[in-house]
Amino acid sequence: MAETSFDVLVIGGGPGGYVAAIRAAQLGLKTAVVEREHLGGICLNWGCIPTKALLRSSEISHLLKHLDQYGFTAKDISFDLKKVVDRSRKVASQLSGGVKHLLKKNKVPVFDGSAKLLGGGKVEVALKAGGKETLAAKHIIIATGARARNLPGLEADGKLIWSYKEAMVPPTMPKSLLVIGSGAIGIEFASFYRNMGAEVTVVEMLDRVLPVEDEEISAFAKKQFEKQGMRILVGAKTQKLEKGADSVTATIEVGGKTEKITADRVILAIGITGNVENIGLENTKVKVDRGHIVVGPYLETDEPGVYAIGDVAGAPWLAHKASHEGVICVEKIAGQHPHPMDVSNIPGCTYCSPQVASVGLTEAKAKAAGHEVKVGRFPYIGNGKAIALGEPEGMVKTVFDAKTGELLGAHMVGAEVTELIQGYVVAKTGELTEAELMHTIFAHPTLSEMMHESVLDAYGRAIHY
């Protein structure tokens, strides 16, 4: 077998892998990528991007059902599900092609196939086209991502019980849907299908939906979901799923009682696990803990010259976290001095209706960490732009250290908060205090004014509420 040598070899072409490869090339390192399926990874092909295309269609569906609020009337409103799904797939395909172009532009070759570490800085690639090739690299970055988790008795079959992949390409619109899990993936699908007309029940094992979010935001979101007609069961355990001819009956334990729920389809959204199998880790000193590779502050593993980034390296499972880790990793390899990842500065976004976004500590976690806190809140109903948009339901919450004025966390629910959150992320990253935020001028009329007012409210100075 022929052997080609590189400075950096990236295994996986998702948002962590391809960004790492491009940054490495920019730094003058001879770099290559091995990708077994689609450039852009799960995020671009089966996750972040195509789900946002679907959710855009569901937002339009919601608006069409409420045209009278804006002075319009229309008859016979309907949708073509095939076209909705096709548009989502075309968006994903376009962006996957864009990644291919970016790698080519940066002179990064892509090997189409599956990689296996051999140890000693060598990787064997089983090529899609047939045959094998051995590659050598001083630095190997594992960016193999993750997949949906299955639990015994709760396995997706692709027909009646869906993972995220099947949920993204439904052949027909189910009349009723059961979603197991209320994290970002589960709630986004629940939101899409409810806005498209399905009856939706969400089952969450923990005591609230969106359990990683601040408790106030979680409670507010739950009320909005229920107002839209979703049924939400929290503190509920799915004991078993029984498949019928064209439906599934779930046995749910909630509040000490057992209930049976029958739905056309079930979506499993019970977490993910890293793709650590069949990549040759047994030939290295790389450690795996609970399905994820153990890494240090610069994404290094226990095997010299081997690194891991993104979902395979553990939570939070976010594309932007993976990309940033890729940059940190290769800049360290290149001899630069990047800052290690500060997870408290990673924003989290859920694109349901209403949207949810946050960064940093929740109020409860800030108190648990020993902070004396000042908390500000501002409701959407107090904002002119929100009322003009017809989006008066929402709130912004900020958490500050009472002694230093440090912004500890920001939590938002409502229209466009996934775009607004970056203002607080910049503030946290720049270590701004309440003083700088109070003296920042926010344009009027904008939704961002609520961010200012929430800061002011934490110090008893809110103007408009």
In the annotation, is 62 catalytic?
A: no
The parent domain of residue 263 ranges over 161-270
Q: 321, 343, 365 — which closes off a domain?
A: 343
Which residues of the chain are under the pLDDT cut of 50? 1
Q: Are residues 266 and 403 in the same domain?
A: no
The total number of structural domains in the chain stands at: 3
Q: Are residues 11 and 142 in the same domain?
A: yes
Q: Are residues 123 and 259 in the same domain?
A: no
CATH of the domain at 396: 3.30.390.30
pLDDT for 394: 98
pLDDT for 332: 98
Q: 324, 343, 362 — which closes off a domain?
A: 343
Q: 283, 308, 343 — which closes off a domain?
A: 343
pLDDT for 1: 45
Sequence ranges of the binding site: 52, 181-188, 204, 271, 311
* Residue 207 located in a structural domain: yes
- Tokens coding 434: 């309440």
pLDDT for 75: 87
H helix or E strand, kind and range, residue 248: strand 248-254
Nearest partner of 455 among 428, 433, 426, judged by Cα: 433
Q: Are residues 417 and 378 in the same domain?
A: yes
Q: Which DSSP letter does residue 433 get?
A: B
Query: How far is it, in rounded angstroms, from Cα 134 to Cα 218?
Result: 50
Does pTM surpass 0.75? yes
55-to-25, 289, 351 alpha-carbon distances in Å: 35, 34, 8
Scan for tokens 């076209």, then name that residue.
83
Q: Are residues 91 and 29 in the same domain?
A: yes
Looking at residue 283, its amino acid is N
* Residue 465 located in a structural domain: no
Sequence ranges of the binding site for FAD: 52, 311
Q: Are residues 258 and 293 in the same domain?
A: no
CATH of the domain at 182: 3.50.50.60
What digits encode the pLDDT tens for the residues 142-190? 999 999 888 788 889 999 999 999 999 999 999 999 999 999 999 999 9
Bridge pairing between strands 395-401 and 373-379 = antiparallel
Q: Which of 66, 444, 452, 464 is catalytic?
A: 444
Query: How far is it, in rounded angstroms, from Cα 74 to Cα 62?
Result: 13
pLDDT for 2: 52
Degrees (nearest 5) of the Cα angle 22, 23, 27? 115
